[in-house]
Structure 1
């Protein structure tokens, strides 16, 4: 972040609504729009205190009686992959990875639809249409890329798209905004087994950030009591934002 001064945006709070992660609880968010020449600095400063970006808005949970959502990040220079993580890197080492400009494509949209239908059919994103998807990818006031993971090319033709991640490039590392992958590319006859693609995409970000001399990969929120968020604590060491301070967790 630069030393220039800038004015923080105006914050708003949403009305309580049912929590999509923990049954029986409600959620409330505080959010603000980021724009202008200071957008990147504002997004990074707010990211360090637990905010996440979605298009040109940053938000974080602000629930009255629940603090289950905890921001987590991986200090990449101290990351030590375990045996299963090393096997995962080797399994998918043949994939071709490209950081693309944030332009939505039909191929990406088709991949997202398959992913949501298989993994999050009742989630809030299930009702997205193509316009929503384009906005998600293209409306970014910061330095953003779409990282594509493809099967090996054949005769100069790009291989099949099996994974994507919308990623913000920050001065202190990478922030993984949203990732999705082919849920059917597991044990499909005649193709490579792409089991563990979600974890591999995180591993790939960590290793690339490390090689680039970056400090962190931000993984978003880990949610206590939500099994589908447990994977975020498998990357060791991991730091959690607790009481306004980033602390390493066991």
Structure 2
């Protein structure tokens, strides 16, 4: 079906067939996907982010499941963000680390870390079998304006790579695509630290938002996003400010 009229031609939107949900194993999922053959995807992607879509490789999608609205698009208005006590502790405990932003080009060091992370976090889930082709296909794609934010030990201590935050850069904000880190350094809270560094990055370059993808109430791996305040969520029509005292987002 057509999503809206473009000056040149209609933007087509497809609905996938049902497939196993990646978050709840007892559920089936479906997605809305922007036409992957549309040559304008790179230009349309920022607008799609504002509609609650997300990128995975070259696909721009949004969950569209029958009878389920668990996946809620969320973003942080970075100029209003204030770290809480736990996040300030995370910043302090990782103050020795060095961050640098690089083009989205795979290195052997990054790929080795990615494999270790998947084998620890997603053992026997399919992703742990990813090779270099799947890495490029999933995290880089062919048209996105992505960057790799590397988080390393200080150069004086060898500069070992600890984490990579894959980030898309658009005129509307940054989009946190995926973060992988050294499983032996889990106590550092590198996932949280990566988001805090992406917020600081957006602030430095004058972007208004960091898009975090989907928040899922009650899901252990996704509920952490509610800790970043203030937080805005998309209700299908507009972005609204979430109530930090609420355990869920009103839809």
Normalization by structure 2: what TM-score?
0.87
Structure 2 equivalent of residue 214 of structure 1: 207
- Alignment pair present for 1:149 and 2:142: no
CA 1:146 to 1:7, structure 2 compared with 1: closer, same or farther past 3 Å? farther
Aligned to 1:63, the other structure's residue is in SS state coil
Structure 2 equivalent of residue 236 of structure 1: 229
Which shifted more, 108-117 or 228-237?
108-117
CA 1:24 to 1:214, structure 2 compared with 1: closer, same or farther past 3 Å? same
Gaps of 5+ in 1: 187-193
Displacement of 1:5 after TM fit? 4.9
Aligned to 2:179, the other structure's residue is in SS state strand
CA distance in 2, matches of 1:131, 1:85: 35
Structure 2 equivalent of residue 168 of structure 1: 168
CA 1:124 to 1:11, structure 2 compared with 1: closer, same or farther past 3 Å? farther
Gaps of 5+ in 2: 1-5, 244-251
Paired residues in the alignment total: 237
Q: Is the 8 A contact 1:34 1:56 kept in 2?
A: no
1:190-211 Cα deviation digits (max 9, x unpaired): xxxx521101100111122122
CA distance in 2, matches of 1:6, 1:164: 38
CA distance in 2, matches of 1:167, 1:5: 30
Structure 2 equivalent of residue 80 of structure 1: 82
Displacement of 1:8 after TM fit? 5.3
As a proportion of its length, which structure holds more helix?
2
Displacement of 1:40 after TM fit? 3.0
Give me the CA root mean square deviation. 1.9
1:1-80 aligned at under 5 Å gives the runs 5=7, 7=9, 9-32=11-34, 33=36, 36=39, 38-80=40-82
1:107 counterpart (91, 106, 109): 109
1:89-100 aligned at under 5 Å gives the runs 89-100=91-102
CA distance in 2, matches of 1:121, 1:138: 22
Structure 1 equivalent of residue 247 of structure 2: none
Q: Is the 8 A contact 2:56 2:139 kept in 1?
A: no
Displacement of 1:70 after TM fit? 0.4
